[in-house]
Amino acid sequence: MSTTLSDLTTHFRQAFGGEPDFIARAPGRVNLLGEHVDYNDGWVLPIAIDRAARLAVRATGGETVALSAVDIDARVEFRLADLEAKVAGDGAALPGWARYAAGVAWALRERGLAVAGLQAALTSDVPRGAGLSSSAAVEVAYATAWQRAGGWSLAPMELARLCQRAENAYVGVNCGIMDQFASACGQAGYALLLDCRTLEWGPLPLPAGVAVVVADTMVRRELGSSEYNVRRAHCEEAVRLLAGPLPGIRALRDVSVADFRRHAHRLPELVARRAQHVVEECDRTQRAVGLLRAGDAAAFGQLMNDCHASLRDLYAVSCPELDVMTAEAQALPGCYGARLTGAGFGGCTVNLIQAEAAEDFRRELAARYERAVGRKPEIYVCQAAAGAGVLPDAAGR
């Protein structure tokens, strides 16, 4: 459960005595389009959502970082000198939840940025492990806090890259850049188009009067990581085989739909199906740009529906529960588009919904999914929100 800002400040007082200097906030994210294309140098289209990690902070200087995690009722202290050893002040191994903070401090220091001791109380209403990237929200909140406390300033994308480095090299999770990017660079009312090759990005307006609804199937399958590696290998094989007739391609993002159709017969059937998804998904994200600029929610939603069919039939990363959640959503009033989001094999769908229909949609989708699958889903109605920042004063006004 999350706490309000005044609860967070109260908690800070109880944990550390006195008032926090400021509150850092960093949101979770959901990807609207561009799935399984990041490792093919393609384009992704996430939004930052109006759920965020918030950190009440007092800069104390020195070498000691004292953290209190309100939602999980845990506290820890560690010394910045002990970052490499990953131990807490009492010599025990640093707990998992604190490694995001330590990892961010480590990555910032590695980059030569000033990082000093602080006291911080953390709360977040980004659900953990639900596909909305609660971990990136926490990382970017810490980075934002140390930026404010240290008096230095990096471009949001730079901050995101250091947080990604923290998660890859310190926490040990091999994530891409999208999550931290969206958390750092989000803009209220905008989706963010990110070129995963060049890291160039820009905001694209979301159509007026839409909500983004995330529906968690509550199903998690272990299959995910081994299948993920197989998909990556198939994509690499497709590039190798297509580079004969198409010299100069480096990744599937370099292959046009027309060229793919011309040369797909050179690929083993399974490889061709996987590559077709990636090539067409890249094409969909490119077409989405014009549709978003034109404010065409219906046509953009159709691309989301097409994406789901492709992930299910060509890329084979869906599962019965995701298919039920998507099909039920697509049949409900006010739904422009629905698809699985994230790696697949369980997790969440993302839905583009008429804002005024969103509450009815949420209720009806929950009932229908539970009837069909026998599990209660979690459904979150979201808006595209601003990226990380420091709230003007400790009370968050």
Decide which of Mg ion, ligand ADP, none touches 128; Cβ closer than 5 to 8 Å per partner kind: ligand ADP
Q: Distances from the Cα of 150 to the Cαs of 58, 112, 118, 284, in angstroms?
A: 12, 12, 11, 42
Structure tokens at 27: 């949101």
User: 390 has which bridge partners?
Assistant: 24
Collapsing DSSP states into helix, strand and coil, what is residue 249? coil
Select from 72, 155, 270, 294 the one that contacts ligand ADP (CB under 6 A): 72
* Nearest CA-CA partner of 177 in 169, 188, 168: 168
Judged by beta carbon, residue 69 or residue 357, the one nearer ligand ADP is 69
Binding to ligand ADP (CB under 6 A) within 368-387 occurs at none
The alpha-helical segments, DSSP class H, found in the chain are 5-16, 96-110, 134-150, 156-165, 178-185, 223-242, 257-263, 269-293, 297-313, 320-330, 358-373
Rounded to the nearest 5 percent, the helix, strand and coil shares of the chain are 45, 25, 30
Select from 5, 71, 87, 189 the one that contacts ligand ADP (CB under 6 A): 71
Of the listed 50, 179, 254, 283, which one is catalytic? 179
Select from 135, 144, 164, 330 the one that contacts Mg ion (CB under 5 A): 135
Binding to Mg ion (CB under 5 A) within 308-367 occurs at none
The verdict on whether 393 is a catalytic residue reads: no
What's the min distance (Å) between Cβ of 134 and ligand ADP?
Answer: 3
Collapsing DSSP states into helix, strand and coil, what is residue 143? helix
* Residue showing tokens 């006004």: 397
Stretch that binds Mg ion, among 131-139, 231-239, 298-306, 380-388 (CB under 5 A): 131-139
Judged by beta carbon, residue 100 or residue 345, the one nearer ligand ADP is 100
What's the min distance (Å) between Cβ of 179 and Mg ion?
Answer: 6
* Residue showing tokens 């990363």: 317
Cα(297)–Cα(300) distance, integer angstroms:
5
Binding to ligand ADP (CB under 6 A) within 112-151 occurs at 122, 124, 128-135, 138
Structure tokens at 289: 């740009």
Select from 61, 96, 151, 374 the one that contacts ligand ADP (CB under 6 A): 96
Q: How far is CA 66 from the centre of its chain?
A: 27
Judged by beta carbon, residue 51 or residue 368, the one nearer ligand ADP is 51
Number of residues engaging Mg ion in binding (CB under 5 A):
1
Judged by beta carbon, residue 96 or residue 248, the one nearer Mg ion is 96
Judged by beta carbon, residue 9 or residue 305, the one nearer ligand ADP is 9
What's the min distance (Å) between Cβ of 152 and ligand ADP?
Answer: 25
CB neighbours of residue 313 within 10 Å: 12
What's the min distance (Å) between Cβ of 269 and ligand ADP?
Answer: 33
Binding of residue 93 to ligand ADP (CB under 6 A): no
Structure tokens at 23: 């509150």
Decide which of Mg ion, ligand ADP, none touches 394; Cβ closer than 5 to 8 Å per partner kind: none
Structure tokens at 51: 């759920």
| CA angle (45, 134, 51) in 5-degree steps | 75
What's the min distance (Å) between Cβ of 136 and Mg ion?
Answer: 6
What's the min distance (Å) between Cβ of 348 and ligand ADP?
Answer: 10
* Identity of residue 106: W
- DSSP-derived secondary structure for 315-329: S----HHHHHHHHHH
Number of residues engaging ligand ADP in binding (CB under 6 A):
17
- DSSP-derived secondary structure for 29-85: EEE-S--S-GGGT-EE-EEEEEEEEEEEEEE--SSEEEEEEGGGTEEEEEEGGGTTT
Select from 75, 86, 97, 227 the one that contacts ligand ADP (CB under 6 A): 97
Residues involved in catalysis = 179
Under the rule (CB under 5 A), what is the footprint of Mg ion? 135
Under the rule (CB under 6 A), what is the footprint of ligand ADP? 69, 71-72, 96-97, 100, 122, 124, 128-135, 138
